[in-house]
Amino acid sequence: MTRLIVVRLLFGALTLWAVSLVVFAATQALPGDAAQMILGRDATPERVEALRDQLDLHEPVAVQYLNWLQGIVQGDLGTSYSNRTEVTEVLSGPVLSSLTLMGLAALAATPVALLVGAVSALRRDRAFDHASSMGTLVVASIPEFVVGILLILLLGPGGLGWFPSVYSREGGPDQWVLPVLTLAFAVAPPIVRMMRATMIEVLESEYVQQARLKGVDERAVLWRHAAPNAIGPVAQVVALQLAWLAGGVVAVEFLFNFPGVGKILMDAIENRDVPLVQAVVLLIAGIYILVNLIADVIGLAANPKVRVANR
Amino acid sequence: MSAPVNAGVEPVTVVPRGRGAGLFRTAWGFGRTKVGAALTGLIVLIAVVGPFVAPYTPTEFVARPFETGVDGTLFGGDNRGRDVLTRFLWGGWTLLLLAGASAAIGVAAGTVVGVVAGYRRGWLDDVLMRVGDVLLAFPQLIAALLVMSIVGPKVWLIVAVIAVSHMPRVARVIREATRKVVEQDYVKAAEAVGLPRWRIMAVEILPNVTSPLLVELGLRLTYSIGVVAVLGFLGMGLQPPTADWGLMINENRQGMAVQPWAVALPVAAIAVLTIGANLITDGLSRAAIGIDRGVEK
Amino acid sequence: MSSLSEGPRPTLLSAPSRRSLLKASAAGAVVAPVLAACGGDSGSGGSGGGEPQRGGRLRVGVAGGGVNDTLDAHDPTDNVDIARNFALYAGLLRYAADGAIENNLAESVEPNEDATEWTVVLKEGLTFHDDSPVTADSVVFSLRRILDPDNPLRGAGDMDGVDADGLEALDGRTVLIRCTEPTVTLPEALAEYYNCVVPEGYDPADPVGCGPFRSVEFVAGEYSLFERHEGYHEEGLPYADELEIVDFPEDDARVNALNSGSVDLITQVPHAQVAVIEGNPDLAVMESETGMWLPFTMRVDQAPFDDVRVRQAFRLIVDRQEMIDQALAGYGQVGNDMYARMDPSYPDDFEQREQDIAEARRLLAEAGHGDGLEVELVTSDISAGVVAAAEVFQEQAREAGVTVELRRVNPSDYWNEEEGFPYAFGQDFWSARNYITQAAQGSVVGAPYNETMWGENEEWLGHLEEARRTADPDERNELIRRAQRVEYEEGGYIVWGFVNLLDGHSTAVHGLEPAVSGHPLGSYAFHRAWLEQ
Amino acid sequence: MTRDAGREADSGGGRDTGAAVLSVEGLTVIGRPSDVEIISGVSITVARGTILGLVGESGSGKTTLGLSLLAHCKRATEISAGRVEVAGKDLASLSERGVRELRGRAVAYIPQSPASALNPALRLRTQLREALHDASLSAADAQARVREVLGEVALPDDDGFLARYPHQLSGGQQQRVAIAMAFVGRPDVIVLDEPTTGLDVTTQAHVLETIRRMTRDYGTAGVYISHDMAVVADLADEIAVMYRGEVVERGRTDRVLADPRHSYTRRLLTAVPLLRTTGHEEGGEPEGEPLLRVAGLDAGYGRTRVLDGIDVSVHRGECVALLGESGSGKTTLSRSVAGLHRQYTGEVVFDGSPLAAGSYRRTAEQRRRVQYVFQNPYEALNPRRRVRDQILGPYRHLVGRPRDPGAVVAEALERAALSASYADRYPEQLSGGERQRVCIARAVATRPDLLICDEITSALDVSVQAEIVKLLRGLQDEGMALLFVTHNIALVSNIAQRVAVLHRGVIVEQGPVGRVMSAPEHEYTRALIADTPDFELSFAGAPERLGMAAQDRPVTGA
């Protein structure tokens, strides 16, 4: 099992490296001279030259990449063009807010989703089941920013006016409601469906039937026999949803003007702020890969066939 | 080992396109599929017929920006004072076209990769899948944004990026399906006979992964619609003054409070469209599972 | 997000920001008839509202701001810096709301007959925030700091003629400014907020000035807090005890803050939000007509615009009122292909150009484009309404058989040679300033942003050069008008209109009146604003 | 154990006739919503200490009956009539709770595939302990009881074993655990649903022996559900034959075997291949150059070695059986010959010329002359293609464009004893037997000289199996050589001329069937013969040998 995990980890690292390569190559294609960008229009040629040396822009691309990579490894993501400060500094705040946002969304969505999923599995083919399956289907299909806008139209200033539709520095906690809600809606459906599917599969399985035929009472059947086998895939899908969030926040943050990585990314793209774009994309990809990895590991760990070496 | 339920039924003389049609028939059996078809049809109708029935041209000015209640306009003016209804009627087909194209290309490419990887196994499989992993490491939207920010928003690019981001996802599914099929002996039978690999893939394997294929197509179409819309919404899709639903939402967000229509209409359309597409997909997948049970014993 | 909003965007790269402000700076000099501020806004926002009351904290939301915010008196980079500059510092002269130049710290500013020497006399009893007196030496120090050849600051550009070494403090209150050439534009320069007076040995880290407010707290990119400068030279001013300036890069956020009452004033209300604000009984919008213009720029040295008939045709294609209505949502005034609207030389008598498609077609046909013409218009969200104007023009041009391809360039790249600036057919935005200064910035050969290459025109150049050497106002204006006539007929600008500024404020705020300068909140007149307690 | 031991146990079971502890009367189970009767009007009784063999082919409803004895109905089925009485309790009268009490104590169930019936996430201890309901027992006693039962089913009873997960056991062990789990609660009735399918004969023999002993020792009434008449005949005291949801015949085992009354029973019995240890005509070593000669063949997957120094040869028109249990490597061998398995060394000579490893490196002609029929007809046909195309595909590729495709197909089908009308069908429209015939048709269409049959009957019901075997005989008579791969020694004894016994990748014995059957040299072969359940058919018209008799019987079933 540990071997499997190590292998997974290695692949994760490999992927991340490949991603860094892609990102670097991509951003190299951007027009504009870094030094010029940083110093701005009215910088004297001398200073530009000096900076170019300092940024070793004269070096061949390969070297530049290596330096860049080295920098990243050492946690130095370079200097943002737009506001000439350390990228790490620029990002620290937004990353925190984004993580908080994602965390809240996950916290809001997961328990409800699991409950709904389990109930519809137990009430299979009854009204509740149909309702929930329809509901999840509908919600799942709508792009998250559309969900967001619908929420705004409904609960925002234009509608019932319960919650503000844009985030601002001096706004109260109520401005978190709509973004969190939107993301929660985006995250929940797959969890519900997976929970339902696995529960049904497990409950239909021969070993649960056998447990029943053994005369084990229902609670034990559910908790001792069904649950352990259902936990794996569900946990996995939950993790995957979190991974999705890493990319999903962008549109939502943009919509609610929420000061997180997503918005930073949009601004960075707007301003052709290469180092920032690189950093954010890498960051998001990194989180994405990491969480996927965790999902894998959970999947493995939950499976005794893997957990316990075969004889 | 159980004999199939329909053992010994009278030979159905003509079964067009093997199971494919069967799949559709079964899918149609579910009420939700019908609903989905109706919803999708409605939006497609709007998108296709819209431009011909639009009262104005999408770029002419009929009102002050965000002005409502202007006579001659049903929903007032947008951020430039162009007729919201007209732009709504015009804004659909671009979305459908881009989404359709990217989904089709992505699924086609993904299928090829998936079948090849799943059948040939070995290093080829590994390479293809590793590359896929790298692509998968970019959330779809992020990948699109990255490329857009570099090359700038171009129509072909939008299609390409979305298609590429679909490819590995489709490939994975098809690969799994292919592997199941490859396990089956009729593939080995064909190998024993020495049928060329490509023909085995084309004749023996491909027809047996149509069910997951159709489901993927539906799924990817739904996603494509979403991504195209989001790109437009983020201003990274089609550029003004094009009338495009995603872009409309972006352009008119500012005035949501004064002129909700300019946002509500396209938002509603996108929502209905995606829901419809997803309903159909769901029907298909249910049908597919039902059917394939026969195949996989 | 800013680039999409209709409000002016915070300029993030230093390149354009420097420039835009350089341009947005000087409002026109001595002004023609005062432009009335429209609507009841000036009522609620204006000097009405009974006796001014003292006290309270004035909370202001200003568009823009970033980690590069500075309090340096002579080197502000961004809207919020300008706002703070108006609060902290004061100059020898200043622009009145109507655009006229009036004395501020100076009691008098007098030129000699050929405008090569200017004598400045300070008012009595002026003090800085640290209660130290404002002296002639302070003035000399300030001007030298600005003109420092090793590190020339913003104002240096306006004072080419001034000889830094020739500056001389004749006595405690009198300064003699010697110029190397006739410098008729010196008052404009001295009226600029960024040419303000600071104490000797000034250090931006300790921002001491003699403006209405003194600095208490400052967090770059977030907010800054000020308290009344008791020693302010205008008797009884300012009214507010405290002033808080909050950075708001996001339009929605800014408007929300006003709506939710977390600020009393905001600058630059997006057109789309005006209705929202006016819908709120406790809020009002103050609309200020300005000399800010958003021209289309045609390069007279590049096809097809090297043919004067094409330029004229394009000028005739524009339906100016529609431009105002669609691009500025009606918040603007029609232009007549001539800038420097506040300049006494402004040619109101030139006949107003109207849309004339037939004539345009004829001219185009003559120029050999009878069977239609295709041009690329480079646009960018460099200022509210610019992109909109491009789209409207595209629509209007269609009628004249001209197909306009829009190329949308990222704002931060717009003035980038790599993007192709100056473009054959592009756009721009300029703030009000008088004709000569404007020409120096945008038209003459070698001007920093010569986007029409118009400066080559000898006839025009002749008149202009002469005018710059002429001290007598009337003669000078006559010369300028000749130059203007030439440019009006053959120039490369399409000046379709002037922008109105929209500021939002709580109805509890009084004392503000619209200013033509192009700076919001009546040129950030914090010293005159007062809160209804 | 030996067959004689089996007999003893039989009669032993017969002697003791306790009270009927299980009685079913007119039980009818219908499927919802179609209301189709899955089983109708079934009545059986079983006495303590005896075993009732419930025989039937797939789809006969025997499993449904078995489950209904535990008051359990599969999704969308329900009991519509009749009563089930276990240990004096009428199941219908019981509450859900009552049923739970009943299960595991009064009546226990042993599933068909323990692999899927044991919870993969739980350790054996947990699963065994919860089967032991008696709450009064202390933890220690419970532990002791569990160990006791494990001992009885001949499994290790140490903690290490108890701490294992199901996937850590072999198939046989899993089945024993399942049995232990059923008996641990000392039930009055025990339902065994094909508990030995998928086990090799030796393991099967042991499991059966265990079951027999346990039922006797515990005085438990056993209901043994199976499709394998031989096993049932060997094990049960009474036999109930199910056909299309009804019990068509019931009686004491010896009676049913001696004098089957229902035609279906008779057919079933005659279809079962009987192990023939005598009466083979003396086929000595055939002379001349063999059609296929495998010499010194070693094969494996990656690093693991599966076959070791195999020497086999098949002569023209001869049927050579490759006998071995699952994992013996017989399939690997056959596939190596067919060119489907490339990882081997050693020589494979076909008609004088060596066959390259891997079908793609062989000439079309070679591929044409060696054809392969797969074990599972449900996987061997492309569900998306009509029978016609399935047959023509290889033909076109190997022989070329036929002038009259229809004729080719028709002939192939006819040789596989199918009417030409089948050409237009899709596989899903065929029964298992028909599918296998189509597979054979596809193989013979190209008129091969060697036909490799890999367990081609194991996935089919016995009656169908008999017909397939008959078909093969016919082909052989037409001069086709067969390499018949199977685990079923009885079948071998009836079809092959020569047999090679494969054990753990090595051929332990090889020779004419007569000799090997009558005088097995290797003890493995002897064990096989001993462990294979068997019985005598004494009724009138009972074939004394399957093959011959098969020919004068009309084709039935499918």
Q: Could you say which of A209, A211, A215 has the minimum Cβ distance to residue D133? A: A215
| Mean predicted confidence (pLDDT) in A120-133 | 86
Are β-strands C530-531 and C402-408 bridged in parallel, bridged antiparallel, or unpaired? unpaired
According to the model, what pLDDT value does residue B268 have? 92
Q: Could you say which of C4, C276, C329 has the minimum Cβ distance to residue B64? A: C329
Taking CB atoms and an 8 Å cutoff, what residues of chain A touch D113? 206
Q: What are phi and psi of D297, to 5 degrees?
A: -90, 120
What torsion do the CA atoms of D340, D343, D348, D353 make, to the nearest 10 degrees?
80
According to the model, what pLDDT value does residue B10 have? 33
| Mean predicted confidence (pLDDT) in D249-278 | 86
According to the model, what pLDDT value does residue C414 have? 79
Whether residue D94 is predicted with pLDDT greater than 50 in this model: the reply is yes
B112 in A contact zone (CB under 8 Å): no
Beta pairing partners, D225:
D54, D193
- Asked if residue D87 is part of any domain, the answer here is yes
pLDDT over 90 for what percent of chain B? 30
What's the rounded Cα separation, in Å, for the pair A181 and A155?
11
Cβ proximity of D13 and D209 under 8 Å? no
Q: pLDDT tens for residues D500-556? A: 999 988 999 999 988 888 888 999 999 888 888 877 776 666 555 444 333 333 333
Q: Which domain holds residue D524?
A: 292-386+448-552
Higher model confidence: residue A164 or residue C21?
A164
Best mutation target, A202, A204, A205, A210, to test chain D (most D CBs within 10 A): A210
Taking CB atoms and an 8 Å cutoff, what residues of chain B touch C391? 59, 80, 240-241
Average pLDDT of chain C to the nearest whole number: 81
Domain boundary among D271, D305, D327: D271
According to the model, what pLDDT value does residue C23 have? 38
Cα D334 to chain center, whole Å? Answer: 20
Q: pLDDT tens for residues C236-263? A: 888 888 999 888 877 777 887 888 788 8
Is the Cβ pair C6, B61 closer than 8 Å?
no
A215 in D contact zone (CB under 8 Å): yes
Cβ proximity of A275 and A80 under 8 Å? yes
According to the model, what pLDDT value does residue A33 have? 65
- Asked if residue D283 is part of any domain, the answer here is no
B183 in C contact zone (CB under 8 Å): no
According to the model, what pLDDT value does residue B8 have? 33
- Asked if residue D547 is part of any domain, the answer here is yes
Give the count of Cβ contacts less than 8 A between chain B and D: 112
Instruction: Tell me the C-alpha to C-alpha distance, in Å, between residue C114 and each of B190, C179, C469.
Output: 103, 10, 8
Give the count of Cβ contacts less than 8 A between chain A and B: 123
Is the Cβ pair A267, C12 closer than 8 Å?
yes
Q: Could you say which of B194, B203, B208 has the minimum Cβ distance to residue D359? A: B194
According to the model, what pLDDT value does residue C33 have? 34
Among residues B42, B46, B44, B78, the alpha carbon closest in space to that of B62 is found at B78
Whether residue A173 is predicted with pLDDT greater than 60 in this model: the reply is yes
From B42's Cα to the closest Cα of chain C, the distance in A is 31
Q: pLDDT tens for residues D238-261? A: 999 999 888 999 999 888 888 888
Q: Are residue D457 and residue D377 in the same domain, yes or no? A: yes
Q: pLDDT tens for residues C212-231? A: 999 988 887 778 899 998 88
Range from A184-188, C214-218, C360-364, C455-459 carrying the lowest mean pLDDT: C455-459
Taking CB atoms and an 8 Å cutoff, what residues of chain B touch D388? none
Taking CB atoms and an 8 Å cutoff, what residues of chain B touch C406? 239-241
Cβ proximity of A26 and B150 under 8 Å? yes
C185's tokens: 């534009």
- Using 50, 70 and 90 to split pLDDT, how confident is the model at B170? very high
Which amino acid is located at C384 in the chain?
A: A
Q: Say how many residues make up chain D.
A: 558
According to the model, what pLDDT value does residue D110 have? 87
According to the model, what pLDDT value does residue B290 have? 56
- Using 50, 70 and 90 to split pLDDT, how confident is the model at A55? low
- Using 50, 70 and 90 to split pLDDT, how confident is the model at B297? very low
Range from C497-506, D56-65, D361-370 carrying the lowest mean pLDDT: D56-65
Neighbouring subunits of C (3+ Cβ pairs under 8 A): A, B
Radius of gyration over alpha carbons of chain A, in Å?
24
Cβ proximity of D432 and D461 under 8 Å? yes
- Asked if residue D157 is part of any domain, the answer here is no
Q: pLDDT tens for residues A234-271? A: 888 888 888 888 778 888 888 888 888 888 888 887 77
A151 in B contact zone (CB under 8 Å): no
According to the model, what pLDDT value does residue A307 have? 66
Residues 6+ apart with CB under 8 A from C147: C155, C156, C159, C162, C164
Cβ proximity of C467 and C344 under 8 Å? no
Q: Give the residue numbers in D contacting A (CB under 8 Å), as ranges.
A: 67, 70, 72, 75, 99-105, 108-109, 111, 113, 116-122, 126, 130-131, 133, 164-165, 167-169, 181, 185
Q: Are residue D204 and residue D342 in the same domain, yes or no? A: no
What's the rounded Cα separation, in Å, for the pair B200 and B208?
11
What's the rounded Cα separation, in Å, for the pair A263 and A242?
19
Q: Are residue D326 and residue D212 in the same domain, yes or no? A: no
Core vs surface per residue B141-166: b (16+ CB within 10 A) or e? bbbbbbbbbbeebeeebbbbbbbbbb
**How many Cα neighbours within 13 Å face the side chain of C34?**
12
Q: Are residue D205 and residue D108 in the same domain, yes or no? A: yes
CATH 3.90.700.10 fits A89-273, yes or no: no
Whether residue B295 is predicted with pLDDT greater than 50 in this model: the reply is no
| Mean predicted confidence (pLDDT) in D305-315 | 90
According to the model, what pLDDT value does residue D64 have? 87
Q: Are residue D258 and residue D302 in the same domain, yes or no? A: no
| Mean predicted confidence (pLDDT) in C344-357 | 88
Is the Cβ pair A207, D120 closer than 8 Å?
yes
Are β-strands C101-103 and C93-95 bridged in parallel, bridged antiparallel, or unpaired? antiparallel
B242's tokens: 């094009």
Taking CB atoms and an 8 Å cutoff, what residues of chain B touch D340? 188, 191-192
Among residues D170, D150, D159, the alpha carbon closest in space to that of D214 is found at D150
Best mutation target, B66, B233, B242, to test chain C (most C CBs within 10 A): B66
According to the model, what pLDDT value does residue C259 have? 81
B76's enclosing H/E stretch is none
From B270's Cα to the closest Cα of chain A, the distance in A is 8
| Mean predicted confidence (pLDDT) in B103-120 | 93
Note the CATH architecture for domain B48-272: Orthogonal Bundle (1.10)
Provide the whole-model pTM: 0.79
Cβ proximity of A137 and C219 under 8 Å? no
Is the Cβ pair C411, A272 closer than 8 Å?
no
Tell which B residues from 16 to 45 touch D, by Cβ distance under 8 Å.
18-19
According to the model, what pLDDT value does residue B14 have? 34
Q: pLDDT tens for residues B18-57? A: 444 577 787 888 888 899 999 999 999 999 999 999 898 8
Instruction: Tell me the C-alpha to C-alpha distance, in Å, between residue C153 and each of C76, C142, C149, C180.
Output: 10, 11, 9, 19
Residues 6+ apart with CB under 8 A from C369: C304, C310, C401, C402
- Using 50, 70 and 90 to split pLDDT, how confident is the model at D295? very high
CATH of the domain at D261: 3.40.50.300
Domain borders along chain B are: 48-272
- Asked if residue D408 is part of any domain, the answer here is no
Q: Total domain count for chain D?
A: 2
Q: pLDDT tens for residues B130-157? A: 888 888 877 888 888 888 877 777 889 8
**How many Cα neighbours within 13 Å face the side chain of C44?**
19
Q: pLDDT tens for residues B1-24? A: 333 333 333 333 333 334 445 777
Q: Are residue D98 and residue D25 in the same domain, yes or no? A: yes
Touch A-B: 3+ C-beta pairs under 8 A: yes
Q: Are residue D245 and residue D347 in the same domain, yes or no? A: no
A155 in B contact zone (CB under 8 Å): no
From D393's Cα to the closest Cα of chain A, the distance in A is 39
Q: pLDDT tens for residues D13-58? A: 333 445 788 889 888 988 877 788 888 888 998 998 899 999 988 7
Residues 6+ apart with CB under 8 A from D114: D166, D171, D174, D175, D177, D178, D195
Q: Could you say which of B138, B150, B229 has the minimum Cβ distance to residue A143? A: B229
According to the model, what pLDDT value does residue D509 have? 92
Q: Are residue D58 and residue D195 in the same domain, yes or no? A: yes
According to the model, what pLDDT value does residue B167 have? 92
| Mean predicted confidence (pLDDT) in C158-179 | 84
Domain borders along chain A are: 89-273
- Asked if residue D10 is part of any domain, the answer here is no
Measured between CA atoms, the residue of chain B closest to residue C379 is B240
Whether residue D557 is predicted with pLDDT greater than 50 in this model: the reply is no
- Asked if residue D355 is part of any domain, the answer here is yes
Measured between CA atoms, the residue of chain B closest to residue A289 is B137
Instruction: Tell me the C-alpha to C-alpha distance, in Å, between residue C516 and each of C37, C97, C274, D514.
Output: 9, 6, 20, 118
Q: Are residue D308 and residue D195 in the same domain, yes or no? A: no
DSSP-assigned letters across all residues of C264-284: SEES---HHHHHHHHTSTTEE
- Using 50, 70 and 90 to split pLDDT, how confident is the model at B112? very high
Q: Are residue D253 and residue D344 in the same domain, yes or no? A: no
Cα A225 to chain center, whole Å? Answer: 32
Q: Are residue D252 and residue D353 in the same domain, yes or no? A: no
Cβ proximity of C80 and C65 under 8 Å? yes
Q: Are residue D369 and residue D257 in the same domain, yes or no? A: no
Instruction: Tell me the C-alpha to C-alpha distance, in Å, between residue A238 and each of A122, A185, B282.
Output: 20, 13, 21
End-to-end Cα spacing for chain A: 14
| Mean predicted confidence (pLDDT) in D321-341 | 89
Measured between CA atoms, the residue of chain A closest to residue B31 is A134
D83's enclosing H/E stretch is strand D77-86
| Mean predicted confidence (pLDDT) in D123-141 | 82
